[in-house]
A and B are shown apart, each in its own frame.
Chain A
Amino acid sequence: MNTLIAIGGLAVLVLIAEIINLRKFIIPITIIGLLGILGLTINDFGLQATYFNNMIVVNKFSTAFNSLFIVLTIFLVTLSGDFYKDQLPKISDYISLKLFLLMGAVSMVSFGNMAMFFLGLEILSISLYILAGSNRKDIRSNESGMKYFLLGSFASGVVLFGIAFIYGATATFDIGEIFKLAINGGIPKWYQLGVVLIIIGMLFKIAAVPFHFWAPDVYQGAPTLTTTLMSTLAKVVAIATLYKLSLILTLSMPEAYITALVFISIITMTVGNIMALRQDNIKRLLAYSGISHAGFMIMALVNLAQSEASLFYYATAYALAGIAAFTVVIVVCRGKSEELIEQFNGLAKRSPLLAAVMSIALLSMGGIPIFAGFFGKFFLFSQALEKGYITLVIFGVINSIISIFYYFKVILAMYTKEVEENASELQIPLSYKVVGVVAILINIVIGLYPSFLLDIF
């Protein structure tokens, strides 16, 4: 609860800083503020409490994910400093939007009431629409923002529709009561319809197949930092919310629901991977790889009772690797009209540090041992096997193999191809080096000591 208020306060502070002409200090203040809030959140750990008539529920799940969101936001804000250096007058808008987005994220994993959930979802989405279209003079950014807005608001509508159905069936917005009513049975059929609508809306938000068509275009067109945000923070928020919703709503669902989930999981990772193989634009490649990762994370939904820790671990590993990879993408592709994989040619010679960061991030996503991504996959596979979904695991394994192809395509370009002749000297701001290295270090540390994250649940 304190977290939510503190973030809101910080966002307002950032807006005020603009008025009293303190633009230069916005980023340091925000980072320090967020670090403080992170401390506050971790301090709350183990607390079980509800606030405002069950509007907000604080438990281990919400605290763990909130901490992850705050860490990711700290990285994103750090990257903002240099990314928006040409747009200094607007910096307070960008930063406060990110903070409002974080507020939405926090309410999405700590809601105790469907109204709160929808509020969080909308705060997050609207901030994202604005950020996607924030590069006003670039037609592709406009396209991206527009597309995302139209499709995203449609999905929000579907979610709202589902909430209305559930309200119609249970006459309450309170998730605790919905849970009890659903378990006891005897509620009208349209409860299930409502659940399906909500799940579909959320599957849209995490870009699961067949609701994924918006993702590559939106990712490609949006300013790269916004793409970073969407593919790391927003995706992790959506999947965590989906998990929490499933935990409350889907226990009384018929068998066919799980079959459908297994199918969606398989098809999401497969389609994402196969499309990623064909991309020559790095942002589209990462978008499709993100889709396949969403497929992996859906695996957590087939074994709801045991997968909390593994989902958290996977989400952390994926988001950290994503931050590191996109940091490198921003530096390498700066000022280019398109972000092509060719631009990575010979990066190892231009900047060994960035090449190493990118390689480790991709190896982690590909699931090569000792990096966190491998353990993430391992834990998800093992919890799915526990429930006997062996087909799902075999598809997961096959997809891990396919993904190696395109991750290695980028790694090979960096280490073996010659630098393009007209390539200019790389300008690597210190903040980017710090973010890349720190994200990778955390990734390796949680790879070596997975218990560090797993044992908190």
Chain B
Amino acid sequence: MNVTILLLTLLIGALATYFSGKSAAKVALIVGVASFVECIFLICQQQQGVNVGFLAQWMNTPNIHIALNGDGLGLSLVLLTTLLTPLIILSSFESPIEKKNTFYALVLFMAFAMAGTFLASDGFLYYIFWELALIPIYFIALLWGNDTFEARKKAIIKFFIYTFAGSLFMLVAFIYLYQKAGSFLLQDLYDLNLTSREQYWIFIAFFLAYAIKIPIFPFHTWQASTYEKAPTVGTMLLSGIMLKMGLYSIIRWQIPIAPQAAKELMTTVIVLSLIGVVYGSFIALKQSNIKRFFAYSSLAHVGLIAAGTYSLTLDGMRGAVYQMLAHGFVIVALFFVAEIIFRRYETRLINEMGGIRQQAVKFASLFLILTFASVGLPGTFNFIGEFSLLFGLSQVNIWYAIIGGTSIILGAFYMLRMFQKSMLGETNSKPFADLTKIEGFVLGVLVIAILFLGVYPKPLTDLITPSLVEIMTQIK
């Protein structure tokens, strides 16, 4: 059994969902859960030393393979994808959605493309998955989004053009690499001996694609408006999984292919990432719309992850992978919180909330745990992630860690203030029903994942460390 099964499940599942008419939501959920089970099974196999990768020739000229990598790094992110996808699908069960079959088919198709991106180890195949992931989210955001059509069209098209433009430069880089290596296979690209000038340009081309996707300052301008206008499911997919494609690709593709350039440009990219951390935090303070608020807080968090990966230390990279998962869990849960409030109050403005805790104790308690997790309180998975990231950064330059550390302090400030404004205070005059079973289940699973990995991250460490060590040797 290898990873193709997982991808086929998602792809065929997407088709089946499209043709299943009214029961589309249930079919999609079953497919999502099935892929999660398969993923767990694959990880167990991989841990026992079975090779779960896949390799076959696709085209002779040019020399392109269908190559899927079954190592721990890719699988850990596939785990994130397959865990979040069914939860995201489940979270939308109580939302009014038109044309359910198309909607859920697009969600599954996107999960397929994202899982493919995490698994592909042939540059060309990787690029195709990377681009394929963009099309479903474009339609999800455009057709099922909030606000008037004209208003969201502007934001979503900006998002699409930005990311598409960035990735085309990556394509040029890949074509150039192919001319050199005669193959797109990851290992062949690793083995290239590029001059430092070549590496420099390759690094920049990749950086454009990833910096826009993640986003890193100053390529972030599409983010907040897209998150705001997209439907909650779309926002969850974007922030929870899709932006991890960029972070993952830095570790998998950009740094090992152009290690020397990564060392030379380290200061620049880390400083850009850290600007994003501070900038995101400050802008978040000023936001009145809860979705925009989470978008900017997310900008700050991913900035720190990017800085950690570019530190080129094992701790930094390991922290980055931890934090990718942790951030994925928390941000999806937080956007779901925003959706839950919206379902009851029909508002996304923080000022119009407040005094919810007395009416919905369960909800407020879960939200509090999530707030603490987002802040990185010890005991949550995010703490482990942020700690490793900062530790990795401090090995490069202690000031990076100090500036990065401000994100925790600022984060604590704005997150707790937001919690206070929205949940505490005098009992709200409008009634607020506590969580339904589905809402409770989704938030519960995410909180359990965060707390469990916060206390016992060893399985994940065992999974990702070998591949990261391999990449580190490649960099050296």
Contact = CB atoms under 8 A, between A and B. Distances in A.
A368 to B, nearest CB: 7
Contacts of B131: 368-369
Contacts of B165: 401
A116 B164 CA distance: 46
A433 B97 CA distance: 31
Contacts of B59: 449-451, 454
B178 A382 contact: yes
A310 to B, nearest CB: 10
Given A401-B164, A454-B59, A378 B143 contact: no
Given A382-B175, A401-B168, A415-B143, A309 B61 contact: yes
A416 B179 contact: no
Contacts of B149: 416
B366 interface: no
Given A369-B128, A370-B132, A386-B179, A455 B143 contact: no
Contacts of B100: none
B168 A385 contact: no
B192 interface: no
A404 interface: yes
A397 B127 CA distance: 15
Interface stretch (B153-161, B299-307, B446-454, B462-470): B153-161
A408 B138 CA distance: 11
Nearest to A452: B59
B179 A382 contact: yes
A397 B142 contact: no
Interface string A348-378: 0000000000000001000011100000001
Contacts of A385: 172, 175-176, 179
Given A309-B61, A451-B59, A378 B161 contact: no
A341 to B, nearest CB: 15
B171 interface: yes
A378 B64 CA distance: 12
A379 B62 CA distance: 8
A393 B143 contact: no
A394 interface: yes
A19 B27 CA distance: 61
Most chain A beta carbons < 10 A, residue from B60, B62, B169: B62
Interface string B118-154: 0000000001100110010001001100000100010
Instruction: Tell me the interface secondary structure of chain A in the complex.
Output: helix
A269 B382 CA distance: 49
A213 interface: no
A394 B161 CA distance: 16
Interface string A376-409: 0011011001100000011001001100110010
A369 B132 contact: yes
Interface string A145-162: 000000000000000000
A450 B57 CA distance: 12
Instruction: Tell me the interface secondary structure of chain B in the complex.
Output: helix
A27 to B, nearest CB: 35
A370 B128 contact: yes
A368 B131 CA distance: 7
B209 to A, nearest CB: 12
Contacts of B157: 405, 408
Nearest to B130: A369
Contacts of A416: 142-143, 149, 153
Contact of B175 (A309, A381, A400, A455): A381
A379 B61 CA distance: 10
Contact of A412 (B58, B153, B172, B178): B153
Interface string A281-313: 000000000000000000000000000010000
Contacts of A369: 127-128, 131-132
A382 B62 contact: yes
Contacts of A394: 172
B113 to A, nearest CB: 10
A270 B178 CA distance: 27
Most chain A beta carbons < 10 A, residue from B135, B164, B171: B171
A434 to B, nearest CB: 22
B153 A381 contact: no
A368 B135 contact: yes
Nearest to B138: A408
A455 B179 contact: no
Contacts of B143: 415-416
Most chain B beta carbons < 10 A, residue from A369, A382, A454: A369
Contact of A404 (B60, B61, B160, B179): B160
B164 A404 contact: yes
Contacts of B132: 369-370
A455 B161 contact: no
A454 B61 contact: yes
B272 to A, nearest CB: 23
Contacts of B142: 412, 416
A404 B139 CA distance: 15
Contact of A401 (B128, B161, B178): B161
Interface string B157-189: 100110011001101100110110000000000
A405 B161 contact: yes
Nearest to B129: A369
Contact of B161 (A370, A404, A450, A451): A404
A397 B161 contact: no
A386 B132 CA distance: 27
Interface string B26-63: 00000000000000000000000000000000111110
Interface in B402-420: none
A455 B61 contact: yes
A370 B62 CA distance: 15
A450 B165 CA distance: 24
Contacts of B164: 401, 404
B182 to A, nearest CB: 11
A454 B60 CA distance: 9
A451 B66 CA distance: 14
Contacts of B160: 404, 408
B127 A455 contact: no
Interface string A403-429: 011001000100110000000000000
Nearest to A387: B179
A309 B58 CA distance: 17
A415 B145 CA distance: 14
Interface in A79-99: none
Contacts of A454: 59, 61
A381 B172 contact: yes
A408 B149 CA distance: 15
23 contacts: A309-B61, A368-B131, A378-B175, A382-B62, A385-B175, A385-B179, A386-B179, A393-B172, A394-B172, A397-B171, A397-B172, A401-B161, A401-B164, A401-B165, A404-B160, A404-B164, A405-B157, A408-B160, A416-B142, A416-B143, A416-B153, A449-B59, A450-B59
Top 10 A-B residue pairs of the complex, sorted by shortest distance between their CB atoms: A369-B128, A369-B131, A451-B59, A397-B168, A382-B175, A401-B165, A385-B175, A454-B61, A381-B175, A450-B59
Interface of A: 309, 363, 368-370, 378-379, 381-382, 385-386, 393-394, 397, 400-401, 404-405, 408, 412, 415-416, 449-451, 454-455
Interface of B: 58-62, 127-128, 131-132, 135, 139, 142-143, 149, 153, 157, 160-161, 164-165, 168-169, 171-172, 175-176, 178-179
Given A408-B160, A455-B60, 7 more contacts: A369-B128, A381-B175, A393-B172, A397-B168, A449-B59, A451-B61, A454-B61
